[in-house]
Amino acid sequence: MPEITTLKEELQQAIIKGKRDAVEPLVRKLLFDGLNPEAIMNDVMIPAMDVVGDQYSRNEIFLPEMMIAARAMNIGLDILRPMLTAQGALGKGKVVIGSVKGDIHDVGKNIVSMVLQGAGYEVIDLGIDVAPEKFIEAIHQHQPKFVLMSALITLTMSMMDETIWTFKKAGVREKVKIGVGGAPLTQKFADQIGADFYGKDARAAVIKCNTLI
């Protein structure tokens, strides 16, 4: 339907440009016109944040613009969340996420966290500079299905390997699926350190988690 297509494009642009006041009426209009809440989330809102992430990685926008876009998306998620719960699109399980020890960058991690919540996961965000022991404590406390680790600089990549080794030593490695991501990472590196998957961006992380549930 042409009108729905136009509304979807308008919503995507509203999120990308951080137009918070435009998001709520557009989401409600799409719902009124019969678009499924899960389709709004997966086909419009998450791709919008993928665009924002790409723009940030190319230095076309900066941290303030990215966070404004994230807040705009959250307005839409707040509207959709009760409906997604009723449809069974939520309640997929718990995810513990954090930037590894020594890494104080959190923009990419925050986007992944937000998109995972929108996709139906309960996210326990441990923040930045997370020591292996803190991840282990969270595993014992929350019993998540997934542990996701982020590293944005090459110097902290080795901490992912150390964290996984510490998981093995503590006897918790087999209790969770481990995903890794961040600008300097590759699939080859993820394989080398024994991670279960590599997510090149937020959308990829959600797809991998959905596959491994």
Q: With 70 as the cut, is the pLDDT of residue 161 above it?
A: yes
In this structure, what are the phi and psi dihedrals at residue 70, rounded to the nearest 5 degrees?
-65, -40
The predicted pLDDT at position 2 comes to 61
Buried b (16+ CB within 10 A) or exposed e, 60-93: ebeeebbebbbebbbbbbebbbebbeeeebbebe
Exposed/middle/buried for 169, CB within 10 Å: 0-12, 13-18, 19+? Answer: exposed
Pick left, alpha or beta for residue 84 (phi over 0 → left; psi -120 to 50 → alpha; otherwise beta): alpha
Which tens digits make up the pLDDT trace of 110-123?
A: 888 877 887 778 89
* Domains of the chain by residue range: 2-87, 93-212
Which tens digits make up the pLDDT trace of 63-84?
A: 788 889 888 988 998 898 888 7
Which tens digits make up the pLDDT trace of 139-153?
A: 999 999 999 999 989
Confidence of residue 26 (pLDDT cuts 50, 70, 90): very high
Which tens digits make up the pLDDT trace of 9-25?
A: 999 999 999 999 999 99
CATH for the 2-87 domain, from 1.10.1240.10, 3.40.50.2300, 2.60.40.1120, 2.70.150.10: 1.10.1240.10
Residue 210 and residue 190 in contact, taking contact as beta carbons nearer than 8 Å: no
Which tens digits make up the pLDDT trace of 36-54?
A: 998 998 899 988 888 887 8
The predicted pLDDT at position 120 comes to 77
Q: What is the pTM of this model?
A: 0.74
Q: Is the four-CA dihedral 133, 99, 173, 94 of positive or negative sign? A: positive
What fold is seen in the domain 93-212? Rossmann fold (3.40.50)
Closest CA to 113 of 86, 63, 73: 73
